[in-house]
Structure 1
């Protein structure tokens, strides 16, 4: 049969020539209904969906567009089907319908060929193979922290180094004396530690310059990939040294110094320093969303700020808060912003109400320890309150306790509260933004204002209700298991290390 332009019409292969079986009549009618609906009787750019056993559900396009060509011309136009391998698998109406029926619901489309005289049915190709994950590497991390005494930032650093020491190398620079609780614990874990006597929270220009020089010497001699900084003094001087040496710096914020509770002169100075050092911060880690909201005041891109909650490794020791006799314990450094004085005043309120008081243990060191001991004696609580100083085994202390207390003017994400949650103790704490992310009021414990009467009321509810202590202790343990494990924290920090280690300049030394 001749074409209307005088050229012979090309026919496709015999229907079903390359197929092992012929389609049913319903599938054939479904395909023809779509082919007839194209303009001028030619196959249009229609997407054909072939679902198993549902060929009659497709809307026929012939009822929407007029047909200007005889039906027999449309029927005789060959349609070639191309499979995933790019080869013609059949021609004609039955072959096309068979291919649609075998597609099993896949989306198929008609595409014009180069000659535009026939249409090829193209099956979607196989899915692309996923990209290979970036291979991790052993990263050399230089860690700088202001002090090596017992505290939340020090516990966080110790847990992080222990979790990643098997796959990465650490060198920790600690301000102060050669022998500190943090330094001794790190050395016992096989991590190299060096002391910097001039590193501290003092504002001495000479000491600051010497500290920057010592950090630069460590960067040049040890060639780290990343410099990780903890706490305010180390965070400021360490970022300057890392910027001089061209090594990316990570700064973990355990608590900004420009919070509203900080005195105005100190708050303004801390904000000015952070704004000046923001360009030298390659990545900032905030321990809570409240600290993240404060970081929005700084000129640092939001993509370089990450919230990673503190985490600690699990311990098999569990407290029994429902026990009839147990201690009320507070583990905190005896220095601002901690408020041990409010707890002592609340104990006096409970004594005036005739309540029998349990033993009270105020663990922790600091410059305020002598004054706090004198205050307890003056209030007549000397025989009731125990002040053991810094303790190496805090979990053993929490096991023999029934209530944990933390009163403070401002906090980041206190590690001591996480330790109490891990032990399964109900928590009585100051109502602060960082602590609100650790426990819910009335569920894992009580949140209160820093008022002796309100603290006494909440403490009395806990001491006189063993069932409440047991219920809150179980909820506290569940909260720890859900949110504050060490593995999740270490994995997220490790991902930041791996990202920064691939930047240009990592692992090289530069003259300051």
Structure 2
């Protein structure tokens, strides 16, 4: 089968890029031909490890095709970007025109049997409208739902195309219901496929318990809860720990995070953005992983950290709860989510409590690591629970939808 994949931003650095690369790898393993249309920065060429037969077509931002930065699905991206809400009408018109040309030329050249887009947003809607005769599915990553609330200006345009998708892949069951309500897509077209991890890469390694290593992996931003997490670490002075901060960011939010991390002295390592292989190595030797986000879809880093044998702390969010059902409370502890204003802003008066809640969970988890470290048997039990969350398992669920739609089209 020939599959054309669409992503309006960089095919790396974020969760959707990680998922795209994983799905491309599995798709090639299963004998499918693949082509990608994606957005990139001028002067940057993405790497697709191990994908020797992949065909690509890129829309370049910051020069080349479009003079402005990549509009990011998150308001803070780990590379230079702008917000969709800041696009002028002229920029939006150019954005549509350039992606329309790229998608049409890719489809004419590649002649796909199916199109698999990412994000229920502008480019997916556009592709559905201009190529109505090709079966099309799209993965919802959660940030698209957030944009539907924060950028109502685009809502009608997005729904006009996305409501006609042949299939949608949701990360978890509650998200599937939200997709049905927001986009008007019938429940029968929405499939909960989940998210995965690279089973050969994310594995437990040797873990030292005298000074536990705690990893954070994600954007250095307020939406990820990083400033309050760092303040919580600063309050846990009576227990040994080392914090390993992996991730990038831009602007004043990154500056705030770096400043707070610097105040932790030699107890914090600021690693910056890492390749998947380097991030996996960090998790392999770590004791704990923490993700204090204020908004998430289904965070890919949690299955990766669990597969690496890390005790995980994460904010009590719907997608995280789906992972909790699989991992169990021995391996995943929930941090109470503070009341929010909008999608990811802590309501006034609740910041100190959030810091205290994170610190309390840190102390609890560190105490368990000191006195009840995981056994070899508990690692084996966890691996068994995670077997349906590998990227191979996720892709096989997607592939069934591919074949069903292709068979319907051929009749």
Alignment of 1:362 with 2:245, yes or no, is yes
Residue 4 of structure 2 corresponds to 142
Give runs of aligned pairs for residues 405-484 of structure 1, distance below 5 A: 405-440=290-325, 442-450=329-337, 451-466=354-369, 467-470=371-374, 476-481=382-387, 483-484=388-389
Residue 239 of structure 1 corresponds to 125
Q: 1:190 to 1:388 in 2, by over 3 A?
A: farther
How far apart are residue 503 of structure 1 and its match? 4.5
**Given the alignment, which residue of 338, 348, 354 partners 2:234?**
348
Q: Does the CA contact (< 8 Å) of 2:37 and 2:102 recur in 1? A: no
Residue 116 of structure 1 corresponds to none
**Given the alignment, which residue of 266, 272, 281 partners 1:389?**
272
Residue 80 of structure 1 corresponds to none
Q: Does the CA contact (< 8 Å) of 1:147 and 1:175 recur in 2? A: yes
Q: Does the CA contact (< 8 Å) of 1:215 and 1:241 recur in 2? A: yes
Alignment of 1:334 with 2:220, yes or no, is yes
CA distance in 1, matches of 2:126, 2:222: 27
Alignment of 1:403 with 2:311, yes or no, is no
* Bigger Rg, structure 1 or 2: 1
Q: 1:263 to 1:360 in 2, by over 3 A?
A: farther
Q: Does the CA contact (< 8 Å) of 1:161 and 1:170 recur in 2? A: yes
Give runs of aligned pairs for residues 22-37 of structure 1, distance below 5 A: none
Residue 374 of structure 1 corresponds to 259
Residue 151 of structure 1 corresponds to 14
Q: TM-score, normalised by structure 2?
A: 0.79
How far apart are residue 211 of structure 1 and its match? 1.5
User: RMSD of aligned C-alpha atoms?
Assistant: 2.7
**Given the alignment, which residue of 283, 288, 305 partners 2:190?**
305
Show structure 1 runs of 5+ residues with no match: 1-138, 507-512
Q: TM-score, normalised by structure 1?
A: 0.64
Q: 1:270 to 1:224 in 2, by over 3 A?
A: same
Q: Secondary structure at the match of 1:391?
A: coil
Residue 493 of structure 1 corresponds to 398
* Deviation readout 1:388-439 (Å, 9 max, x if unpaired): 1111122101122111001111111111001011111110000000011112
CA distance in 2, matches of 1:479, 1:468: 21
* Deviation readout 1:192-239 (Å, 9 max, x if unpaired): 23321146444332122211221111111221111111135xx42133
Give runs of aligned pairs for residues 18-97 of structure 1, distance below 5 A: none
CA distance in 2, matches of 1:404, 1:329: 5
The aligned length equals 356
Q: 1:250 to 1:434 in 2, by over 3 A?
A: same
CA distance in 2, matches of 1:407, 1:383: 22
CA distance in 2, matches of 1:350, 1:436: 26
Q: Does the CA contact (< 8 Å) of 2:198 and 2:304 recur in 1? A: no
How far apart are residue 357 of structure 1 and its match? 3.5
Alignment of 1:277 with 2:161, yes or no, is yes
Q: Does the CA contact (< 8 Å) of 1:321 and 1:426 recur in 2? A: no
Q: Does the CA contact (< 8 Å) of 2:231 and 2:260 recur in 1? A: no
**Given the alignment, which residue of 104, 115, 124 partners 1:216?**
104
Q: Does the CA contact (< 8 Å) of 1:337 and 1:410 recur in 2? A: yes
Q: Does the CA contact (< 8 Å) of 2:118 and 2:124 recur in 1? A: no
**Given the alignment, which residue of 17, 32, 38 partners 1:168?**
32
How far apart are residue 322 of structure 1 and its match? 6.4
Q: Does the CA contact (< 8 Å) of 1:426 and 1:476 recur in 2? A: no
Q: Secondary structure at the match of 2:195?
A: coil
